[in-house]
Amino acid sequence: MTKITYIDYQGNSKTIDVENGLTVMEGAIQNDIPGIDADCGGGMACATCHVYVKEEWLDKLPKKEDGEEDMLDMAYEPNKFSRLSCQVLVSDELDGLTVSIPLKQG
Ligand code: FES
């Protein structure tokens, strides 16, 4: 189990123990975090799982694949902290990761 903190569009934060091997998106869905809809179920085809990662975590996450970058271009206000949460696998190295959910996804 790895602790992931989700900050919703209202600034409420929730820290959850997510099973390793799940994605950050799946951890949110299983725990009813608002704002991560994951319409495509993790297929990198919707961008409704878009999150912003805290700066100190940017380099610790697995690198983006080309498809993720393309899909993020279609997300709401992407920036250099943007990731698709369905593409980030939870592991011990991510313990303490904090992600926030864009306002528009509320
Ligand atoms: S769930 Fe659709 S892109 Fe992540």
Please tell me the distance between residue 7's alpha carbon and the centre of ligand 1 in angstroms: 18
Whole-number Å distance between alpha carbons of 53 and 56: 8
The confidence band for 97, taking pLDDT boundaries of 50, 70 and 90, is: very high
Residue 95, pLDDT above cutoff 80: yes
pLDDT value at residue 105: 63
Q: Are 50 and 105 in contact (CB under 8 A)?
A: yes
Q: Which positions ≥6 away from 66 have C-beta within 8 Å?
A: none
Residue 104, pLDDT above cutoff 80: no
Burial classification of residue 57, based on how many CB atoms lie within 10 Å of its CB (0-12 exposed, 13-18 middle, 19 or more buried): middle
pLDDT value at residue 103: 82
Please tell me the distance between residue 23's alpha carbon and the centre of ligand 1 in angstroms: 11
Q: Are 49 and 86 in contact (CB under 8 A)?
A: yes
Q: What is the mean pLDDT of the chain?
A: 94
